[in-house]
Structure formats: structure tokens, C-alpha cells
């Protein structure tokens, strides 16, 4: 009997090739499939769906503990997916997984996220894709997130995903026994309260640090940010179709051709 081929899994992130979450995710995926890692050569957080134009991309082999681990690309997470599919992989992967990101990618954060951007590029290329994020920037423990990622990837490999749909998965940074469960959620409306800090350099010229705090504007477990704050894993289906379908008819009534 012919042995069943292991699934081909492409792993990427936006925190860069040295990101701890990437290494945990790759190790977890190696338990169920043949893994190729292609990640930015340095942190590329907040890149969204940006890609590099007009500047050549450099690809290098990356070793860890004297062993080959994967490839680096001198660009964005989306660049990594494009280069992997067109120049590194000899066969199309069965699934793309992105992460595990430092910090949540819920609500409006989803729009900025390079982790989600990599997964969206996978779906544009018609490959099932999932983005994983751990909801902390400090004292991160990716252990359970890696375990849950493996469980969900197995499910998606069996069940498939709807066309043009990414799963954005946000996992609380708490012990496994404190996880309340899994909620399939909508993208919430919580957004950033911006705080741009102005300072002067040694020559008296102003420069700026962008910062802020995510304001919770949702109030039930059907939304991603609220769910993770209540210690649930939030699994959010995101579409590459950005059309506001509810607004279509209203805008058509403007009779712009007259």
C-alpha cells in the first residue's frame, strides 16, 4: 500500500526569523507535516499587506544551532509568501500558517498586521491559510498556542476553508487550564487611541514615536477582542473581499451617473 504523503506546510511570520513564536510554530507543524520556513530577515510588524517594489529582495539560508532551519527574505511577510511560492518551493503547499505573533491581532489591529497579511496573501494564491497570535508582548509563553495551532491545522487540512477566507486566531497568554474555550468570532470594532510622542534630536529637530492603547469598544463574546479578554481563544474568519455589501445599495442610490 502506498504511504500517504505528509501535508506540505509553509510557515511565515512578521516578527522575523528569530521570533520565538515562529520557532514554536514550526516545531509544532513538523509533528504533522513537511515544513518549509520562509520569514523576514528582521522584524516587520505592522506591515499589513505591504510588498516591496523597486528594491531587490535578498534570500538567504538560515541556520539555527548549526542546523538548517529555513530561509530569510529581506522584505515584508507578503514578500516572503510570494518568493516562497515562486522561487523556493517546488510544490504548492497544502496550507500556510503565519505566526505565532507577539501581541493580539484583533479588531482594527487586523488591518495593520503583517502576520495576517502573510495569510491573506496565501488565500489570494488559493492556499488555505491561518494567522496565529498570542495576546501579549511580555512574558510570552507560546507552548499552548503551538499545541492549539497544531489541532486547528489538522482540522483545516481535513475540513478545508471557504473560498477567499483566512482564519485569524488569537490565543490568550495564560496557562492552558485557564482557557475558557474557543469562540468563533467576528472582527470587533475596538480601535487605537493614538498617542504620538514628539521629541527633539541632538540638533533640535523633532522626531516622533507612534504609540497608543487599544480601546475596547465591543461588549460581548461574539467579537474577537472581547473574547480574548475573557480568556477565550478567538477564531475569526476574515475575507479578502473588503466590500461593504450593506452599503452598496445606499451608494447606488446616489445616482452618480447623472
Give the residue from 106, 111, 131 showing the smallest Cα distance to 218: 106
Q: Is 257 annotated as a binding residue?
A: no
- The pLDDT score that the predictor gives to residue 161 is 96
Q: Is the pLDDT assigned to residue 87 strictly greater than 90?
A: yes
204 vs 187: CA distance, rounded Å: 43
First to last CA, the chain: 69
Q: What is the enclosing helix (H) or strand (E) of 28?
A: helix 20-29
105 vs 83: CA distance, rounded Å: 24
Half-sphere exposure of 3 (CA within 13 A, CB side): 3
For the segment 15-44, the average pLDDT, to the nearest whole number, is 97
At 122, phi and psi to the nearest 5?
-60, -45
Q: Which of 67-71, 177-181, 208-212, 251-255 shows the lowest mean pLDDT across its residues?
A: 208-212
The pTM is what? 0.93
For the segment 91-115, the average pLDDT, to the nearest whole number, is 95
Q: Is the pLDDT assigned to residue 256 strictly greater than 90?
A: no
Q: Is the pLDDT assigned to residue 86 strictly greater than 70?
A: yes
For the segment 51-67, the average pLDDT, to the nearest whole number, is 95
- The pLDDT score that the predictor gives to residue 2 is 57
Q: What is the pLDDT of residues 153-201, one digit of tens each?
A: 999 999 999 999 999 999 999 999 999 999 999 999 988 777 788 999 9
- The pLDDT score that the predictor gives to residue 209 is 86
Q: Is the pLDDT assigned to residue 213 strictly greater than 90?
A: no
Q: Is 15 annotated as a binding residue?
A: yes
Provide the pLDDT confidence category of residue 228 given band limits of 50, 70 and 90: very high
What lies within 8 Å, CB to CB, of 9 at 6+ separation is: 29, 32, 33, 34, 35, 36, 93, 94, 95, 96, 97, 153
Q: Is the pLDDT assigned to residue 221 strictly greater than 90?
A: yes
Provide the pLDDT confidence category of residue 28 given band limits of 50, 70 and 90: very high
Domains in the chain with CATH codes: 8-188+218-252 (3.40.1210.10)
Q: Is the pLDDT assigned to residue 1 strictly greater than 80?
A: no
Q: Is 101 annotated as a binding residue?
A: yes
For the segment 43-61, the average pLDDT, to the nearest whole number, is 95
- The pLDDT score that the predictor gives to residue 217 is 84
Q: Hey, CA dihedral for 23, 223, 190, 81, is it positive or negative?
A: positive
Q: Is the pLDDT assigned to residue 246 strictly greater than 70?
A: yes
- The pLDDT score that the predictor gives to residue 3 is 63
Q: Is 45 annotated as a binding residue?
A: yes
Q: What is the enclosing helix (H) or strand (E) of 147?
A: helix 143-159
Amino acid at each position: 500500500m502506498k504511504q500517504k504523503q505528509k501535508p506540505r506546510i509553509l510557515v511565515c511570520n512578521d516578527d522575523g526569523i528569530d521570533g520565538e513564536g515562529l520557532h514554536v510554530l514550526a516545531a509544532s507543524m513538523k509533528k504533522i507535516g513537511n515544513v518549509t520556513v520562509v520569514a523576514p530577515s528582521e522584524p516587520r510588524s505592522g506591515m499589513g499587506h505591504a510588498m516591496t517594489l523597486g528594491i531587490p529582495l535578498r534570500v538567504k539560508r538560515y541556520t539555527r544551532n548549526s542546523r538548517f532551519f529555513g530561509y530569510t527574505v529581506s522584505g515584508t511577510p507578503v514578500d516572503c509568501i510570494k518568493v516562497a511560492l515562486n522561487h523556493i518551493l517546488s510544490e504548492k503547499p497544502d496550507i500556510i500558517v503565519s505566526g505565532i505573533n507577539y501581541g493580539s491581532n484583533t479588531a482594527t489591529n487586523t488591518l495593520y498586521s503583517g502576520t495576517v497579511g502573510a495569510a491573506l496573501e496565501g488565500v489570494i494564491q488559493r492556499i488555505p491559510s491561518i494567522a496565529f497570535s498570542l495576546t501579549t508582548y511580555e512574558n510570552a509563553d507560546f507552548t499552548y498556542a503551538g499545541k492549539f495551532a497544531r489541532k486547528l491545522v489538522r482540522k483545516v487540512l481535513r475540513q478545508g476553508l471557504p473560498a477567499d477566507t483566512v482564519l485569524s486566531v488569537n490565543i490568550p497568554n495564560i496557562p492552558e487550564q485557564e482557557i475558557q474555550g474557543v469562540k468563533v468570532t467576528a472582527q470587533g470594532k475596538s480601535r487605537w487611541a493614538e498617542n504620538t510622542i514628539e521629541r527633539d534630536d541632538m540638533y533640535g529637530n523633532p522626531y516622533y514615536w507612534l504609540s497608543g492603547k487599544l480601546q475596547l469598544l465591543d461588549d460581548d463574546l461574539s467579537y474577537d477582542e472581547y473574547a480574548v479578554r475573557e480568556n477565550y481563544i478567538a477564531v475569526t474568519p476574515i475575507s479578502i473581499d473588503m466590500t461593504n455589501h450593506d452599503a452598496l445599495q445606499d451608494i447606488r442610490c446616489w445616482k452618480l451617473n447623472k
